[in-house]
Chains A and B, each alone.
Chain A
Amino acid sequence: MSELSNRSKDIGEFVPMPDDDMIVCRCEEVTKGEIRKAVHEGLWTIAEIRRYLRCGMGLCQGQTCAKLVKGIVARELKCSPALLEPATSRAPMRPTEMHVFADETEETDL
Chain B
Amino acid sequence: MMTSDVIIIGAGIIGNACAYYLAKKGYKVTVLEKSDIIGNGGSSRNGGGVRQSGRDPRELPLAMYGIENLWPNLSEELGYDVEYHKKGNLRLGKTEAHLKTLKKLADSASACGLDVRMIDGDEVRQINPYLSKEVIGASWCPTDGHANPLKATLAYYMAARRLGATFITGEDVKCIKKIRGKARQVITQTDTYEGDYIVLAAGMASRAIAGTVGIDIPMVQKLIEALVTEAEPKMFEQMLGTAEADFYGHQTDHGSFVIGGSTGFELYKKDNGTPMNYSDTVPCICRGIIRYIPMLKDAKIVRAWAGWSDNMKDGVPVIDTVSEVPGLVLACGFTGHGFGIAPGVGTVVSQLIAGEEPVCDISGLKYDRFYAKDIKTA
Point out residues on A near B: beta carbons under 8 Å: 1-2, 4-8, 41-43, 45, 47-48, 51-52, 54, 57-59, 61, 85, 88, 90-92, 95-99, 101-104
Q: Does B102 contact A (CB under 8 A)?
A: no
Note all chain B residues with C-beta closer than 8 A to A101: 282-283, 286, 301
Q: Does B20 contact A (CB under 8 A)?
A: no
Q: Do B297 and A1 have beta carbons less than 8 Å apart?
A: no
Give the residue of B36, B166, B289 whose beta carbon is less than 8 angstroms from that of A45. Answer: B36
Q: Do A5 and B298 have beta carbons less than 8 Å apart?
A: no
| Residue in B37, B40, B171, B277 whose Cβ sees the most chain A Cβ within 10 Å | B37
| Residue in A2, A42, A58, A98 whose Cβ sees the most chain B Cβ within 10 Å | A98
Interface size on B, residues (CB 8 A): 42
Point out residues on B near A: beta carbons under 8 Å: 36-40, 44, 150-151, 154, 157-158, 161, 166-171, 189-190, 229-230, 254, 274, 277, 280, 282-283, 286-287, 289-290, 296-305
Note all chain B residues with C-beta closer than 8 A to A99: 286, 290, 297-298
Knowing A59-B230, A97-B297, A98-B296, say if A52 contacts B167 (CB, 8 Å): no
Complexed CA–CA distance, A96 and B289 (Å) = 15
Q: Do A43 and B283 have beta carbons less than 8 Å apart?
A: no
- Our count of residue pairs bridging A and B at CB distance below 8 angstroms stands at 116
Knowing A48-B37, A51-B39, A102-B290, say if A43 contacts B154 (CB, 8 Å): yes
Complexed CA–CA distance, A61 and B254 (Å) = 16
Note all chain B residues with C-beta closer than 8 A to A95: 230, 300-302
Complexed CA–CA distance, A95 and B230 (Å) = 8
